[in-house]
Amino acid sequence: MSTVLNVSSAVQDRQQAIQQATAADFSSLFTTPFDVELVGRKNCENLIGSVAMPVGMAGPVKMSWQHEDNKSTSDEVRLPLATTEGALVASVNRGCKAINLSGGAQVFVRKIGMTRAPVFSCPDGETAQNLIKWIDQHFMDLKTVAEATSSHLRVIEFQAWQRGRQVFVRFVCDPDQAMGMNMVTIAVQRMAEAITQALPEVKLVAVSSNACADKKDSVINRVLGRGYQVQAEVKIPGQVISNVLKTDASSLVAVQVAKNLVGSNVAGSLSQNMQVANVAAAMLLATGQDIAHVVEAAQASTTLEIDGDGVYAAVNLPNLNIGVVGGGTWLPAQTQARQLIGGGQEIDTYYLASAIGVAALAAEISGMSALAAHHLAKAHQDLGRVSQVAEVSGSQS
């Protein structure tokens, strides 16, 4: 099956077939500003072309960041945002200005690991209980089996829940610099096979059970984490709030409570933020990530509290899934977008997570200020009229 097809000619064949079927002009869609052979093999079957997403830049923004080993760095970071939603880049940019005038953002990053949760069925509850004990007792063996599938993978731990006679086992793995969902799936499949081979009564229902949870709203990913946990914070003095953000501390906190804390609850939502989805989508897209992971990234919590004459502002993203190798990360423009963050150099996952955290913080600060100042609608109205919005206050959400 592994015959080497010429992807380029296959793309041309498809384009020609479409052209003949429709007699329309697809010249823009049929553009492929990347290596068609590679994309056709690695990223996208039945390739016919591409869509270009505009990239705007926010920042540079001052960021001090820290990861588990207590190494701390301070940088000025440019933020590439792939978006077609007018006002978003301007909003993030205004947030960056406020952050810079407040001395920069502090970021904390922690790697939790990628998770995949197969579900097994047993003949009865007792067998289900024994299955969990067995996995616990043979964890090191399973780890060996799993880690043989990739030199980049480490199995960290597992959690398990019984429901009737089914067992949901959530394996947590470190996929190194990759986002790792595929790598982890392959490893978990091997572990699942080892389990069912050792315990013939136990059947694998599916290698993925939604207890993972991948690309869905979930509380489990916030309670236990998934991918990376990032928090970015800054204390903004009163003067910066009035000069740059055109509002005041108490109005900001009033919107925080009414919108993020109570309004989310009215909606039956377990997210407590304004527009993290906007900025997460734009950053994931620009840097070559799996864009569907915006669902998990959007489950963020924003904090705004009175601090002196200003506010303490923070954004906490409990499950951010990213990588700098694998998937779409190798694409040339996306690679360069990450290098833009890194000041010309490739960055690691911690750095990328930090940059997304700061971008989210900037977006929340600016967006919430626009709401507090009643400028949100105005920003969008102006956008239709003026050519270049010097200081747009907020994007939608």
Q: Which residues are catalytic?
A: 85, 290, 380
Task: Please state the φ and ψ torsions of residue 68, each to the nearest 5 degrees.
Answer: -55, -35
Q: At closest approach, how far in Å is the CB of 131 from a second copy?
A: 13
- Per-residue contact string for residues 89-128; x = within reach of a second copy by CB under 8 A: xx--x------------x-x--------x-x-x--xxx--
Dist CA 2 CA 315 (whole Å): 47
* Residue 8 vs 242, nearer CB to a second copy: 8
Q: Who contacts 188 (Cβ-Cβ below 8 Å, separation ≥6)?
A: 116, 118, 146, 171, 173, 207
Q: Does 314 bind a second copy (CB under 8 A)?
A: yes
- Per-residue contact string for residues 228-247; x = within reach of a second copy by CB under 8 A: ---x-x-x------------
- Per-residue contact string for residues 251-290; x = within reach of a second copy by CB under 8 A: ---xx-xxxxxxxxxxxxxxxxxxx-xx-xxx--xx-x-x
Size of the site for a second copy (CB under 8 A): 178
Dist CA 283 CA 278 (whole Å): 9
The interface with a second copy within residues 26-55 (CB under 8 A) comprises: 26-29, 31-34, 39-55
- DSSP sequence for 144-209: HHHHTT-TT-EEEEEEEEEETTEEEEEEEEE-TTB--HHHHHHHHHHHHHHHHHH-TT-EEEES--
Which of 274, 241, 283 minimizes the C-alpha distance to 89? 283
- Per-residue contact string for residues 151-190; x = within reach of a second copy by CB under 8 A: ----------xxxxxx-x------------xx--xx-xxx
Which of 229, 264, 248 minimizes the C-alpha distance to 304? 248
Task: Please state the φ and ψ torsions of residue 236, each to the nearest 5 degrees.
Answer: -105, 120
Q: Does 87 bind a second copy (CB under 8 A)?
A: yes
Q: At closest approach, how far in Å is the CB of 283 from a second copy?
A: 11
Q: At closest approach, how far in Å is the CB of 239 from a second copy?
A: 20
The interface with a second copy within residues 54-83 (CB under 8 A) comprises: 54-58, 66, 78, 80-83
Q: Which listed residue (137, 151, 197, 381) binds a second copy by CB under 8 A?
A: 381
Q: Does 141 bind a second copy (CB under 8 A)?
A: no
What is the rounded (10 degree) CA torsion for 387, 391, 393, 396?
30
What three-state secondary structure class fits 316? strand
Q: At closest approach, how far in Å is the CB of 262 from a second copy?
A: 6
Q: Which listed residue (84, 137, 151, 197) binds a second copy by CB under 8 A?
A: 84
Amino acid at 287: T
Amino acid at 67: H
